[in-house]
Amino acid sequence: MVGEKKWYIKLITFLLLAVGTIFSGFPVLWMFLNSFKPNSEIFAWPPVWISDNFTLNAYAQILSDPEKIRFFINSYFVAFIVVILTLFVSILASYSFSRFNYPGKKIINTLIISVQAVPPITLLIPYLSLVVALNLYNSYGALILTYLLFTLPYAILMMTGYFNTLSKELDEAVMIDGGSRFRALWTVLVPVAVPGIVSVGMYTFMLAWNEYLFALALTKTTEFRTVPVGINLLMGQHAYEWNQMMAMSILGSIPVLLLFLFFQKYFIAGMTSGSIKS
Partner 1 sequence: MTYQNVNRGRSKKRSGYLKKKTEPYLYLLPTVILMVVLLVVPIYMVIQYSFFDNVIINDNPVFVGFQNFQELLTNESFWVAVKNTLIFVGGSVIAHMIIGITFAMVLNTKYIGPKLKAMFRVIFSLPWMFTAAVIAVLWKMLLNPNGFINFLLVELNLSSTNLEWLASRDLALFSVTMINIWAGYPLFMISILAGLQGIQSQLYESSAIDGANHIKNFFYITLPQLKPILISLILLDFVWTIQQFALIWMTTGGGPIDATEILSTFIYKQGFSEYQYAMASTSAVILLIICTIVAIFYVRHQRGQE
Instruction: Choose among 208, 200, 204: nearest CA to 227.
Output: 208
Nearer to partner 1, 100 or 238 (CB): 100
**Residue 70 Cα distances to 59, 75, 171, 203, 210, angstroms:** 15, 9, 44, 23, 16
Nearer to partner 1, 23 or 54 (CB): 23
**Residue 144 Cα distances to 33, 123, 254, 271, angstroms:** 35, 15, 22, 21
Q: Compute the least distance from the CB of residue 170 to partner 1, in Å.
A: 17
Nearer to partner 1, 135 or 275 (CB): 275
CB 145 within 8 A of CB 128: no
Nearer to partner 1, 50 or 261 (CB): 261
Nearer to partner 1, 66 or 178 (CB): 178
Give the number of other CB atoms < 10 A from CB of residue 278: 6
Q: What angle do CA 178, 180, 184 make, to 5 degrees?
A: 105
**Quick one: residue 236, left, alpha or beta (phi over 0 = left, psi -120 to 50 = alpha)?**
left
Nearer to partner 1, 201 or 250 (CB): 250
Q: Compute the least distance from the CB of residue 56 to partner 1, in Å.
A: 19
Residues sharing a CB contact under 8 Å with residue 242, sequence separation 6 or more, in sequence order: 34, 39, 42, 43
Q: Compute the least distance from the CB of residue 94 to partner 1, in Å.
A: 9
Q: Compute the least distance from the CB of residue 134 to partner 1, in Å.
A: 9
Q: Compute the least distance from the CB of residue 66 to partner 1, in Å.
A: 20
Q: Compute the least distance from the CB of residue 62 to partner 1, in Å.
A: 13
3-state helix, strand, coil in the chain (%, to 5): 75, 0, 25
